[in-house]
Each structure stands twice: as structure tokens, then as C-alpha cells.
Amino acid sequence: MAARPLFTNRLTTGLGGVAVAGVGAVLYYRFMMPTAHADSGSPPKAFGKGPAFLSLKLESSVPINDNTKRLRFELPTQDTLTGLSISSALLTYSWPKGSWLPCVRPYTPITYAEEPGVLEFLIKKYPNGKQSTHMHSLQAGDTMRFLVPIPGYKWTPNKHPDVTFIAGGAGITPMYALIEGILRNPEEKTRITLVFGVNTDADVLLKKEFDAYAQRYPGRFKAVYTVSNPMPGSPLRKGYVTKELLEEVGASPKVKNTKVFVCGPPPMEAALMGTRKQPGILEQMGYTKDQIYKF
């Protein structure tokens, strides 16, 4: 029983520290950032390297399928940029009704870094996911607090001539952010292959955007979708992400300076990257650890 007051004191102190830091960050953002913007002439940025503790208003919430919504938040001004580096995530904060403690979860925005005024997310709702459930409950006009950016993969333009992205389910969001950043950079020549494995046709998130990129950048980007339970008459490939599929799309560890990015549900990541007892598909294909990055 003696441990409970100690825990409570630590929790209270910790939350108090967060609150004080939050006030400081908000004051800095509100008073210093506009000055920096005026002096530099560059667009203001919502997020920098440190804490932001920024509360943003939800502009819209659009259902994509039965468990995923596209949430669009307004940035402080119409010309404000996110300020996030490519594929970075944001730590979200809420205190859901009935919860004893606040909820903090990271999500990767799908907004292009140079698009001003807005911040968008694809949020999949999980049965026991407190934060995803809370975010799905938000209505236009409600607010959400964003604490701090979490840097993503540090991408160097043209460092890898060929890259393969292997995604599953909601793991597509950091992939999309990185792919978009690469393709929309006029200096880039990197060739990209996306392999996206999902359960149903409706789970192929951002398909419209990926198909548009495939048309816009022929020879540089191709997307392959594989569905484990396609609907009758589906035009999409049936199956899972397998060694045979990866070899078919041209993924090879022998390509000089190649890189593979992986993000998906735990069973999929285990199959690709292996476990302590069993090698994964990528190792079986000959990929080394330094050739693989897991979000």
C-alpha cells in the first residue's frame, strides 16, 4: 500500500511538469514564432524540433471504410506549414471519458510537408484502442492536442537508387509520407516499388493517391496490392506478401545500395523479418540487417 502514494506523487509531479512545459511552449509559439516569421519572411511552421503542445481544431472527419477515418485539422494560419521532416510522426494527447489517465499515442500525418494550413491523418479504430476510439469520436470543431514531433527515417535524396516498401494495414501511413516526399522532390531519381498487403479490398488505403503517382511517375513508382480476402470479382491480386511475390516484383538484395522499408501488423513483420527462432522472408532472400528499416 505504501507504494501507491509514491506513484501518485510521481504521476502528479510528472503531469505538473508536462503542464508547465506546455505553457512555456505555447507562450513561445504564440509570441516568438510570429516574430521569427516576420523577420525571416518564410512561412510559419507549426512544429519544430522541440515540444509543441499545440491544440488544433478538426476541420473534417471522413469515413474511408468501416474502421478508418481521414481526419483533417486546421493549422494556426492558412499559410502555416507543418514543419515536419519527411515521415515524422506526431505524439497525440487526450483524456478520454472514463479514463483514469491521459492517453498518448504517435500517428504519422499524410499531409505533404509543403501543403499549408492543414494537417491530415488516416486513423484506424481498434476495438481496445483508447486513442483511436477517441479520435474517431471527434466532430468538426472539436480540438486535439499534439505534443511533440517524433523524427522518422532520415532520408537522403538519391542515396538508394532502388527501394522497396512493404506495408500492411494501417502501416501504410509512414510509407505514404516517405513515398510522397521522394516523388515530389524534383531532384530525386529514386525508383520505388510498393507492396501493400491487406485483408479486404476496402483496406487498400490511399489507393487513389498511389495509382495517381504510378501514372505520373512511370518507371519510377509502381504499386502492387495483394488481398487475403478479396470480394467476389475483385480486380486485385489474392494472397499474402510472400517470398515469391517479392521476387516477382523485382525486390533483390543484390541491387547496389538498395533498401527495404517494412511497416505492418506484428504477424506480418515477424514473417518478413523473422524471430529469434526462425529467419524471415527477407533474410531468406539474402537481405542483410543494414538493408532493412522497420518503422
Binding residues: 105-107, 122, 124, 130, 132, 173
Annotated binding site for FAD: 105-107, 122, 124, 130, 132, 173
| Best CA proximity match to 281, nearest among 197, 160, 174, 181 | 197
Query: How far does CA 242 lie from the centroid of its chain?
Result: 24
**Whether 109 contacts 177, CB under 8 Å:** yes
Q: Which residues have C-beta within 8 Å of that of residue 176, sequence separation ≥ 6?
A: 110, 206, 209, 210
Neighbour-count burial of 4, counting CB atoms closer than 10 A to its CB (0-12 exposed, 13-18 middle, 19+ buried): exposed
Rounded Cα distance, 2 and 150, in Å: 36
Cβ atoms within 10 Å of 97's Cβ, excluding its own: 7
